[in-house]
């Protein structure tokens, strides 16, 4: 297995959140996420958008936007090697990474924003326990300040959630598997 760079590891973590949020909202009675057969969102029938970019059109709201911010890769210089080695008898090489996954709720009403944040927060607490099995530890979870913006004759309400994580990524962990975690989240309401 080839070793991913830190940007690829961060992207896999972000994608895992997006894919699993889409899965749980496929079952939600009020905010149903609907895809076409080709896996693309069905804009005509879906009741929520889950992306890694912010939609600019009101018909694409409510939305859950999952993004990452610049992360830190920490390397130690030892014997001319920029990666750590577990010990001299193994060929495990890697590096330490800290980073943030931001999950932002964007709605046209405060009740929708609050309802969605409750679901996303509960999901994130359960899902991060699954990520620990892949060596991804959560340092902190923060509910950031909510805001509202008036654009194109509409109010948009935002509520962000920031999850700071730490991982010791290496060439022996298959980070592609985190997007395929068999995670059975039960919707609470």
User: Is there a contact between 112 and 62 (Cβ–Cβ < 8 Å)?
Assistant: yes
* Banded model confidence at residue 189, pLDDT cuts 50, 70, 90: very low
Residue percentage of the chain with pLDDT more than 70:
69
Average pLDDT over residues 13-18: 88
Mean pLDDT, residues 57-84 = 68
CATH of domain 6-173: 3.30.2000
Is the model more confident about 1 or about 57? Answer: 57
pLDDT at 48 over 50: yes
Q: State the pLDDT at residue 170.
A: 64
Q: How confident is residue 133, by pLDDT bands cut at 50, 70 and 90?
A: confident
Neighbouring CB atoms inside 10 A of 9's CB total 23
pLDDT at residue 34, as a whole number:
94
Cα 12 from Cα 97, distance rounded (Å): 13
How confident is the model at residue 10, as a pLDDT? Answer: 81
Q: Where are the beta strands (DSSP E) in the chain?
A: 49-51, 63-68, 72-74, 84-85, 93-107, 136-143, 147-151, 154-170
Residue with tokens 């709720």, as numbered in its chain: 105
For 105, the 3-state DSSP assignment is strand
What pLDDT is stored for residue 80 in this prediction?
47
Q: pLDDT category, 82, cuts 50, 70, 90?
A: very low
Higher-scoring residue by pLDDT: 56, 124 = 124
pLDDT of residue 132: 83
Tokens in use for 186?
């039960």
């Amino acid at each position: 297995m080839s070793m991913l760079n830190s940007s690829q590891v961060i992207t896999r973590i972000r994608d895992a959140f997006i894919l699993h949020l889409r899965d749980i909202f496929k079952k939600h009675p009020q905010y149903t996420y609907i895809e076409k057969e080709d896996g693309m969102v069905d804009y005509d029938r879906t009741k929520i958008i889950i992306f890694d970019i912010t939609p600019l059109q009101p018909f694409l709201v409510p939305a859950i936007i999952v993004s990452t911010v610049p992360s830190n890769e920490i390397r130690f210089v030892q014997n001319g090697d920029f990666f750590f080695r577990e010990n001299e008898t193994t060929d495990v090489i890697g590096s330490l990474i800290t980073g943030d996954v931001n999950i932002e709720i964007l709605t046209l009403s405060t009740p929708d924003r609050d309802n969605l944040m409750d679901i996303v927060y509960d999901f994130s607490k359960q899902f991060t326990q699954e990520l620990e099995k892949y060596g991804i530890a959560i340092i902190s979870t923060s509910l950031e300040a909510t805001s509202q913006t008036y654009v194109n004759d509409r109010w948009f309400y935002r509520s962000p959630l920031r999850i700071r994580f730490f991982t010791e990524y290496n060439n022996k962990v298959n980070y592609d598997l985190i997007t395929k975690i068999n995670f059975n989240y039960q919707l609470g309401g």
